[in-house]
Structure 1
Amino acid sequence: MSNLTGHKPKYPSSANLYSPSAPSLEPTQAETVKWSSGVEISDMAATNEAKSKSNSVVDDLLQFLNASPTAFHAVDEAKKRLRSVGYEQVSEREDWKLEAGKKYFFTRNHSTIVAFAIGKKYVAGNGFHIVGAHTDSPCLKLKPVSKVTKGGYLEVGVQTYGGGLWHTWFDRDLTVAGRVIIKEQKNGSVSYIHRLVRVEDPIMRIPTLAIHLDRGADGFKVNTQSHLLPVLATSIKGELNKVVTKNDVQDNGETTESKSSPNNSKHHSLLLQLLANQLGCEPDDICDFELQACDMQPSLVGGAQKEFIFSGRLDNLCMSFCSLKALIDSTSSQTSLEHETGVRMVALFDHEEVGSNSAQGAGSPAMLNALSRITNSFSSDFSLIEKAIQRSFLVSADMAHALHPNYMDKHEENHQPKLHGGLVIKSNANQRYATNAITSFIFRELAVNHNIPVQDFVVRNDMACGSTIGPILASGVGIRTVDVGAPQLSMHSIREMCATDDVDHSYEHFKAYYEEFSNLDQKITVDM
């Protein structure tokens, strides 16, 4: 983003205060004269066009983030976007009849999604050009028995998911979202359906303890078992609004005829009623659910120069969005796949934050299964999958740690990624990241060809290094892999931040990768 220091501020209306496209600054008098004189109009037009395009990508990201409070919602949003541009859904339970030049996707558990576009010149044994990311983020998930009553309060039992900065969850306006299994009765038959739910009101809060009651505390130490329970209501109000069930007695002494549900003893009836109201069903129709607490504050553009994105779940929905949009846009025109010899793919996995060891995580056979089924759809020679893997390439995209101005000693001196500096190539000698010289060169060369900035990161020797889906897929599938990510601050907080420029850089880098990897890979003569 341009340096606008010294510009006279323009105060937007409150309605446009957080709009990423709302103008917030005016040009100086000198610049106004220069513009009106017509000098460098072409350069100015190019700059404005780039800004407009960047704002479009950022606006789109904000819509994606605000539509995706959970991994289930993120996958559902991805499905909508893919379907709208002609991607066809296939099921892993059925046979696949694929065609070159066509676009497809499938899901697992409604929380993992894999989309792919097959080049018109693809033949079995050719490579796959993949960007992999993850849909999950650290959060508080409701326990199987969430009903907690103590001290005159109705509280909701939650369990921690992933390595969250749990102190950031206090004093936030919270709601619940996730998936629900609902029983439906039609024409005398019973069926069970998966539904997404998101209560639109702030219904919970985790209050902090007043400093007057904890003056001796050395910092804010959270006991995740006893301190993290959200307050849903007071017991008195909860009883007044209690849902009447089969075992409840009405004022006239008669029992109701509604069907009993085991959920009544596991969850507060008030919570079940809120879910039922949102879903348009009865509380007793709710068979089970996977819900999590969610922050009500929307994702938005902020900062004095409108250069930051303030949001939850940037790790890793930002990379999920940028890779998904890059795939869609690189395959949107009628001729985009005309000369493509490979398969362009995005794979967004669940459960990265807890190790990826699940049926829908990167540690599952999902990736290998997808590569095998696509290859075998075009040939009965099952040995071609091994050739295809060696011709393939994976970009493991997971957000990176930007240099923190208040904790600069936490970064290695020569590896200090900055906001606005482009995607970060992550390296680790102990294979916490899967990057090597060949894979980093390929990804860096794409940046050079398009004048896109790129950065490097290694963790300090005296600090532990995190990891990604990169090493898991590299070792499990045998595919060439580079680990990258956009720089951000406040990782794993309920409210994170990154730079708007880096969203645009990431999108452009991934799009260039999809469109040009086939040609670039042919120029590499090193035996892989």
Structure 2
Amino acid sequence: MVTRMSKAKAYASDFIAFVNASPTPYHVVDNAKKLLTAAGFVELKERDSWVGSVEKGKKYFCTRNSSSIIAFGVGTNWVPGNGISIVGSHTDSPTLRIKPVSKYNAEGFLQVGVETYGGGLWHTWFDRDLSVAGRVYVETQEGNLVPKLIKINKPILRIPTLAIHLDPGSGNKFEFNKETQMFPIAGLVEEMINKLEDSQPDETDKRDVSFQSIKAMQERHQPKLISLIAGAAGVPISSIRDFELILFDSNPSTFGGMSDEFIFSQRLDNQMMTYSAIRGLIDSVQDPKALEGNECIRLISCFDHEEIGSESAQGARSNFLPSIVKRLSGLTGVAATDISVAAANPTTFYEETCNKSFLLSADMAHGVHPNYASKYESNHKPLLNKGPVIKVNANQRYSTNSPGILLLEEIAKYEQVPLQLIVVRNDSSCGSTIGPALASLLGTRTLDLGNPQLSMHSIRETGGTADVELACKLFASYFNYYHDVQEKIFVD
């Protein structure tokens, strides 16, 4: 017999495997594609015409920059101008990124220059076992430049703290300069370490290398690092042309607590909500007849660059989601010989769809910290493992309002998912999410929510084991019942 806790732990185990395999937004999207493909979703290319390609009763996904992804299923009763139930999240987390020129040597150490990304708790990155992962562009024998994902599965970097004996006046206050005192060490300056493993000329390389518009990779970065990257990519060193690599904690995410009630992990913000959105969508269509008779499109949109304001071509403030909604709003979703109604007759389908749609902006929330309880508003102290948290802010840092709360409350009843509420204290700052940005872009009703966690933006965060399943069930219920519930809640 499967108990409720064992089922919750199964969901959490799948999530832990997902986050351990996803050290970068590129890996998040790549692993999302694998899950969606296995569930019968078909990939579309944004640069192609979708006229006649999107059919009722079928499931699709598309990506942008390989770091943002949108997936959706079309109800069999969909007609142009109908509504879309949307869950939005983000694929990025605060991290350190290797600089374009990262080669530094000091006091006999090989070091790697890094740049801060987002608003991390940077002191938590000290004295951790770090590695690198990301996207590497390599040149093929045909002269094409293609991306490869890499993840070096061993600790190669570390940012050491200064012994307290050498700074006795600091007491318990840890201060440092992010530019000059946050250099990871990568090795020692020795001939064998600083030597390329395959430094012999590549006889297959016929390019004229007499001109270099930018310094060669071996000059810009530690040669041993380039060697490790080439090994992880499975290519010769000479084929590496450029990369976007970030640092991550090489210690895997795991269950924690005396009863495995916690998840100790990096990147809970926001991979827990991204995974839950993906899994919720997949769970909602696992029945082959799930889309039959449904009048809506169910959609997830997972964006890069939320941690730095979403101002990019693949961020939530871009045209990625609006352009996809615009395409879908006028598509008839029938045979490939048909054409788009919107293409043949300019209409207001897009505006109608935006007005009939709803967005759940899914981003992790602050759970109450037992050692800092006074930092929370006294009546709003979300607990781990007690369900998703609805986030409210009068100044519209979150887009939640009463109709949205009522809608989610009714949705949650179908699967008996408990919900919590939070507002921050008036004397405390409030973070923001993709919710307000997308609400403004689309004019769509929006609610902000997220699972509760501790140590947000730390290199190691703490979440609740049971909350993964609860979020997945909530999103699946939302996709299954949005159309029925929204018709009962009146708002102009």
TM-score normalised by the shorter chain: which range applies?
over 0.9
- Is the 2:127–2:160 Cα contact (8 Å) retained in structure 1? yes
- What's the Cα RMSD here? 1.8
Q: TM-score, normalised by structure 2?
A: 0.93
Check the 8 A contact 1:180/1:290 in 2, yes or no: yes
For residues 20-71 of structure 1, what are the alpha-carbon distances to aligned partners after superposition, in whole Å with 9 as ceiling and x for unaligned? xxxxxxxxxxxxxxxxxxxxxxxxx5xx432232122111101111110111
2:119 & 2:488 partners in 1: Cα distance? 42
Q: Partner amino acid for 2:69?
A: I
Once the two structures are TM-superposed, the CA of residue 396 in structure 1 deviates from its matched residue by 0.2
Q: 1:480-519 residue pairs with structure 2 within 5 A? A: 480-519=445-484
State the partner residue of 1:11: none
Q: Tell me the equivalent position of 1:318.
A: 272
Measured against aligned partners, the alpha-carbon deviations of 1:452-484 in whole angstroms (never above 9, x if no partner) come to: 211100010011110000000001111100000
Matches within 5 A, 1:472-487: 472-487=437-452
Q: CA deviation at 1:257?
A: 10
Q: Does 1:175 align with 2:131?
A: yes
**Offset at residue 259 of structure 1 (A):** 8.1
Deviation at 1:439, TM superposition (A): 0.7
CA distance, structure 1, for counterparts of residue 429 and residue 385 of structure 2: 26
Tell me the residue number matched to 2:4: 50
Partner in structure 1 of residue 155 of structure 2: 202
Q: Which residue does 2:220 correspond to in 1?
A: 266
8 Å contact kept, 2:26–2:134: yes
Q: For 1:408 and 1:81, locate their aligned partners in 2 and report how far apart those are by CA, in whole Å.
A: 39
Instruction: State the SS of the aligned residue for 2:431.
Output: coil
Q: 1:183: Cα distance to partner?
A: 0.1
* CA contact 2:5–2:466 (8 Å) conserved in 1: no
For the Cα contact (< 8 Å) 1:245–1:259, is it kept in 2? no
Deviations 1:291-331 (A, max 9, x none): 00111111111101110000000000000001100101101
Q: Distance in 1 between matches of 2:386 and 2:136?
A: 41
The aligned counterpart of 1:87 is 41
TM-score by length of 1: 0.87
Q: C-alpha separation between the residues in 2 aligned to 1:240 and 1:504?
A: 48
Counterpart in the other structure of 2:74: 118
Say if 1:233 and 1:258 are closer, same or farther in 2 by CA, change over 3 A.
farther
Per the TM alignment, residue 227 of structure 1 is displaced from its structure 2 partner at its CA by: 1.5
Residue type matched to 1:192 in 2? L
Greater relative contact order structure (CA < 8 Å, 6+ sep): 2
Amino acid paired to 1:344 = R
SS state of the match for residue 236, structure 1?
coil
Whether the 8 Å CA contact 1:245–1:258 is kept in 2: the answer is no
Structure 2 partner of 1:408: 373
| Residue of structure 2 in register with 1:18 after alignment | none
Residue 104 of structure 2 is matched in structure 1 by 148
Aligned mate of 1:291, from 234, 238, 245: 245
Aligned partner of 1:389 in structure 2 is 354
Partner residue of 2:316 out of 356, 362, 381: 362
Cα deviations by residue, 1:320-378 (Å, 9 ceiling, x for unpaired):
00110010110111100002110000100000000000000000011100100112322
Looking at structure 2, the residues matched to 490 and 240 of structure 1 have their Cα atoms a distance apart, in angstroms, of 38
Counterpart position of 2:232: 278
1:141–1:131 Cα change, 3 Å: same
Q: Equivalents in 2 of 1:371, 1:427: separation in Å?
A: 26
Alpha carbons of 1:69 and 1:259: their partners in 2 closer, same or farther (altered >3 Å)? farther
Deviation at 1:239, TM superposition (A): 4.8
How do residues 438-477 of structure 1 correspond to structure 2 at under 5 angstroms?
Answer: 438-477=403-442
1:190 is paired with a residue whose SS is: coil
After TM superposition, the structure 1 stretch with the greater mean CA deviation from structure 2, 486-495 or 367-376, is 367-376
User: What is the aligned counterpart of 1:235 among 186, 189, 194?
Assistant: 189
Instruction: Report the secondary structure of 2:62's partner residue.
Output: strand
User: CA 1:232–1:263 in structure 2 vs 1: closer, same or farther (change >3 Å)?
Assistant: same
Structure 1 residue 290: deviation in Å?
A: 0.2
Change (3 A) 1:121 1:192: same
Structure 1 residue 448 displacement after superposition: 3.1
Residue 73 (structure 1) aligned with residue 27 (structure 2): yes
Partner residue, 2:59? 103
2:398 is paired with a residue whose SS is: coil
Task: Answer yes or no: is the 8 Å Cα contact 1:397–1:485 preserved in 2.
Answer: yes
Q: Distance in 2 between matches of 1:320 and 1:239?
A: 40
1:226, distance to aligned residue in structure 2 (A): 1.3
Q: For residues 185-214 of structure 1, what are the alpha-carbon distances to aligned partners after superposition, in whole Å with 9 as ceiling and x for unaligned?
A: 1xxx31111110011111111111111111
Question: Structure 1 counterpart of 2:61, which letter?
Answer: F
How many residue pairs end up in the alignment? Answer: 471
1:304 aligns with 2:268: no
Offset at residue 242 of structure 1 (A): 3.7
* Letter aligned with residue 22 of structure 2: S
Contact map agreement 2:414 2:477 (CA 8 A) in 1: no
1:295 alignment partner AA: D
Matched AA of 2:146: I
- Quickly say closer, same or farther: Cα 1:521–1:240, change in 2 above 3 A: closer
User: Is the CA contact 1:246–1:258 (under 8 Å) kept in the aligned structure 2?
Assistant: no
User: Larger deviation: 267-276 or 48-57?
Assistant: 48-57
Question: Which blocks of at least 5 consecutive residues in structure 1 are unaligned?
Answer: 1-44, 248-255
